[in-house]
Chain A
Amino acid sequence: GAVVSQHPSWVICKSGTSVKIECRSLDFQATTMFWYRQFPKQSLMLMATSNEGSKATYEQGVEKDKFLINHASLTLSTLTVTSAHPEDSSFYICSANIGAGANYNEQFFGPGTRLTVL
């Protein structure tokens, strides 16, 4: 099956620092990757859609200058949380899309990265 990895699995940082999270598709090429945020006991909130070789598309209310996304290759997308603050503490999950025809959007999720900002 399709495998998506994330690194690191957890990170603790000081307020004001930047944190980079990597998302890799291990056994397939992903034209599109998605970044989600999940608060405890809540569902996934889509932050942005990342397309290889082009700028990410951010959802309404997500600051693109704070959450920098780079999708430089078909197997790697990175999310950088810049100048992190305690309110950015959350569970960040990426997913990669395997298209099966024009319309189906099957996503495979990474294991998530737990960010704690002190």
Chain B
Amino acid sequence: QKEVEQDPGPLSVPEGAIVSLNCTYSNSAFQYFMWYRQYSRKGPELLMYTYSSGNKEDGRFTAQVDKSSKYISLFIRDSQPSDSATYLCAMSGNTGGFKTIFGAGTRLFVKA
């Protein structure tokens, strides 16, 4: 079993839709949860990070962490064609070294 599971998609939605991206994980030591956006042939850029459980909102983006279920989500409201990218979840914690573990990434296409 992978430490972090993420559906690679692709996920295709119409412009304006609400997008829900999710990851599950197995290691309860993870405390920091991040979402990165990666455009084709570019390095990932940090979108949001959350410590422990709870919600965090930034503009059209909302990150949720449910540690009891080992489940994290990223919601994108009013999705735009420019949101088309690969979204990677990532997490780290005191797992014997603070390595960051990445999900496989979900490819998102927002159609105009």
User: Footprint of B on A, CB under 8 Å?
Assistant: 4, 6, 34, 41-44, 46, 49, 91, 93, 95, 103-112, 114
Contacts and interface: CB of A to CB of B under 8 A. Distances in A.
A112 B42 contact: yes
Given A44-B88, A103-B32, A112 B41 contact: yes
Interface centre among A93, A95, A104, A110 (most CB of B within 10 A): A104
Given A49-B99, A103-B31, A104-B32, A43 B104 contact: yes
A43 B104 CA distance: 4
Given A43-B88, A43-B105, A103-B31, A108 B46 contact: yes
B32 A111 contact: no
B31 to A, nearest CB: 7
B104 A110 contact: no
Interface string B27-68: 000011010100001111110010100000000000000000
Interface string B70-112: 0000000000000000001000111000111011110100000
A112 B36 CA distance: 15
A105 B103 contact: no
22 contacts: A4-B43, A41-B8, A42-B104, A43-B6, A44-B88, A46-B100, A93-B43, A95-B43, A103-B94, A104-B49, A104-B51, A105-B32, A105-B100, A106-B34, A107-B100, A109-B43, A109-B45, A109-B46, A111-B42, A112-B41, A112-B42, A114-B41
A110 B36 CA distance: 13
A95 B34 CA distance: 14
B9 to A, nearest CB: 10
Given A42-B104, A43-B103, A105 B43 contact: no
B6 to A, nearest CB: 8
A106 B49 contact: yes
Given A103-B93, A103-B94, A106-B46, 9 more contacts: A43-B104, A44-B88, A91-B41, A104-B92, A105-B100, A106-B49, A107-B100, A109-B43, A111-B42
Contacts of B93: 103
A95 B36 CA distance: 13
